[in-house]
Amino acid sequence: MTATPPWPTVLFDLDGTLADTIPLIVASYQHAFRSVLGEEVEETRARAWIGRPLLEALLEESPEHGHALDATYREWNLANTGRLIRRYEGVPELLEALHAAGVTTAVVTSKRQETARLALEGVGIDHLVEVVAGLEDTDRHKPAPDPLLRGATVLGVDPARCVYVGDATVDVQAAQAAGMDAVAVTWGAGDRAALAAQGPTALVDEVSDLQALLLGRAAS
């Protein structure tokens, strides 16, 4: 008997979910703070900002120097994306399997559209998934539901029939606020216990388990 995918539309976060940009992001934060403020940033501190809009997080940390930090971060991040970005094993196959099963897939991210597309190209999956909502597409951002609802609107689908897959607590919160199911993955920036505490629909540790879940099959 053929399994039926439980969600006809799967929206994905990008950083730490489809592409391993975590080392790149952490290093970009560290370079920006070192260059602008002469301050060292521990990895755990930098990882806590992932999933939020960049400028928002930086202005919260340093209202006076947030814009300078943002410009320095973006310049270094762009220059080093090709060197530091990594592919998560199994993600291309996951997207191909979902496409073959008739599931619509798309990306909703806190990155700008152009930067998100560069990241997708960097890990070779840009032909498998499109960006339907980026930083510039909504005024409010995760954990607000606006980016996810924007993605559903672009695709012309009912949010209640979507699932959002992400690696941060704000991803789960945004999905719940949007009336979508939420799947949290543990291979990105988020802490497993913190993710579980948000009450996602499912919590998965491996790409293969995520594929089984999204295709409606039992995990191997």
Considering the candidates 13, 137, 146, 167, report the single residue annotated as catalytic.
13
Quick one: which of 112, 130, 207, 120 has its CA closest to 165? Answer: 207
Residue with tokens 């009450």: 199
Helix (H) or strand (E) holding 163: strand 162-166
Cα–Cα dist 76/68, whole Å = 12
Answer yes or no: 146 catalytic: no
**Burial bucket for residue 118 (CB in 10 Å: 0-12, 13-18, 19+):** middle
> For residue 7, which of 171, 192, 189, 175 has the smallest C-alpha distance?
175
The catalytic residues are: 13
